[in-house]
Structure 1
Amino acid sequence: MPGEPPSSAAAVRAAGLTKTHGSGETAVHALAGVDVAFARGAFTAIMGPSGSGKSTLMHCLAGLDSATAGSVWLGDTELTSLRDDALTRLRRERIGFVFQSFNLLPVLDARENIVLPLQLAGRRPDPAWFDAVVARLGLRERLRHRPAELSGGQQQRVAVARALLPRPDVVFADEPTGNLDSRTGAEVLDLLRSSVRETGQTVVMVTHDPIAAAYADRVVLLADGRLAGEIDAPTADSVVSALRGLGA
């Protein structure tokens, strides 16, 4: 029921989530009463045709956009009831982000970009965890390089490290391989997959790519702002077939 906290198995959950743009006859319902939960320690992909509401759903789940109605819970915290300052703190301390455009600060080197969210939260990185993340992402020799001195794949690795370092409740990835070639994209997806398998991280990814979605444990399908099904243990072929059924 909307307003109720999620079960302990859910890292993030939406109940009756509605997002409407405009009003009256011109109203557009980007989300129309979505009920969905994302398990802790799992990798879930959100997919659907263009305009299905997948990015809107992720932005509402991550507290980047406000809902018109319904509730979003991060663990036992209801995001949709928080004031802006509390929501900002929650995003900084409990949510990690990986975007298609990397969103690195060009004047900072890789190390400074990685630790920036922790610094903004007034926290120091755990040296052992920092070293482990940097080693896993192959960034040890790149920490003093600025973004302009890094390849696209290296920049996205820095973005993944930045998202993982605070040990967030959830990492939200919005088309994380969209600006990468297929080989580099596969490396980034492997890193997200291994962060789930090896450290119990929860990852929720929006993608239009069936091959990327096949790295996930589960695919949630949206169409016209509504939940349209899901696929457990997806393969690229099963995703393509499901999307065809939605008219994508």
Structure 2
Amino acid sequence: MTSSTTSTDLPGAIPGFPAPCGAVSARAVSKSYGRGETAVHALRDVSLDFEPERFTAIMGPSGSGKSTLMHCLAGLDSIDAGRLWIGDTEITGLPDAALTRLRRDRVGFVFQAFNLVPTLTAEQNITLPVALAGGTVDTAWLQRISSSLGLDDRLSHRPHELSGGQQQRVAVARALLTRPDVIFGDEPTGNLDSVTGGEVLSLLRRSCSEMGQSIIMVTHDPVAASYADRVVLMKDGALVGELEQSTPETILGALAALGA
């Protein structure tokens, strides 16, 4: 997954690995749950970089560690060994308050559940993180996002007045508003039908090409993963391969080879 070149003279490098060079980087990351014979090794010595302005999908069989990896990369879960960076900021061992600020300012999230506040309008849901942080909304950027996502005529509507696809578009807009270093998607189309899911995935794809966004998505769906530039494959907590510019058929073949 990473170059074999060693660059221990660079900031952040560790012996045997190149320095971090992505929107998100991991070096020799391991994570276990439990102890002794009952321990579950969720991540085993994982090292990789997620390039800026690219859409990456993480896939693998159930229990492969893909969700654990995403949670650790996003600073939502701790690791037992290794180092992690978001951009040029190392998050390994970062104090809770600093980690919370970093996630608020530099990370966006899109989940399977839309996680919208039912009493707020679409616009209020989009701007909620900025409001909670006491910041000022960039109205020009909000307008661009809303127009790009086709939400201009839905901003005054509350969630129950929106379709599932529109609600997920609001969630995507909320994630984009702060211009984060990276957006993490956890099965973002899992609650959508295939047509609506395709529309949301196309919007995520466009956010990379048109807005310079970096996206890391965990999914079990080969069709969803085919929208990504790159598919990272995992099994038993380890990285076992990757695909570039793949199709649902090539992804299915790769997963079948893993026993998924």
Give 1:51's match in structure 2, choosing from 49, 52, 63: 63
2:3 corresponds to which residue?
A: none
Residue of structure 2 equivalent to 1:129: 141
Corresponding residue to 2:34 among 16, 22, 25: 22
Q: Which residue of 1 aligns with 2:251?
A: 239
Q: Could you report, residue by residue, the CA deviation over 1:74-127 in whole angstroms, capped at 9, with x for unpaired residues?
A: 111111121001000000000000000011111211111101111222221211
Match of 1:80, SS state, is: coil
What secondary structure sits across from 1:122 in the alignment? coil
1:218 to 2:230 alignment: yes
Deviation of residue 211 (structure 1)? 0.6
Alignment of 1:79-118 (within 5 A): 79-118=91-130
SS at match of 2:104: helix
Determine the C-alpha separation between the residues in 2 that align with 1:243 and 1:173. 20
List, as ranges, runs of 4+ consecutive aligned residues in structure 1 with deviation greater than 2 Å: 1-9
More helix by share: 1
| Pairwise CA distance, 1:71 | 1.0
Q: What's 1:229 paired with?
A: 241
Q: For residue 152 of structure 1, what is the amino acid of its counterpart? A: G
SS in 1 for 2:109: strand
Distance 1:182 1:245 in 2: 25
- Give the alignment's TM-score, normalised by structure 1: 0.96
Q: 1:7 to 1:164 in 2, by over 3 A?
A: farther
Aligned length: 248
Counting aligned pairs with the same residue, the percent is 63
Q: Report if the CA contact (8 A) 1:104-1:147 is conserved.
A: yes
Q: Which amino acid aligns with 2:96?
A: D
Residues 35-50 of structure 1: pairs in structure 2 closer than 5 A:
35-50=47-62
Residue in 2 that maps onto 1:64: 76
Give ranges in structure 1 of 5+ residues lacking alignment: none
| Superposed CA offset, 1:137-171 (max 9, x none) | 11111111111221111110000000011000000
Superimposed CA distance per residue, residues 21-49 of structure 1 (whole angstroms, 9 cap, x where no aligned partner):
00011100111111111000100000000
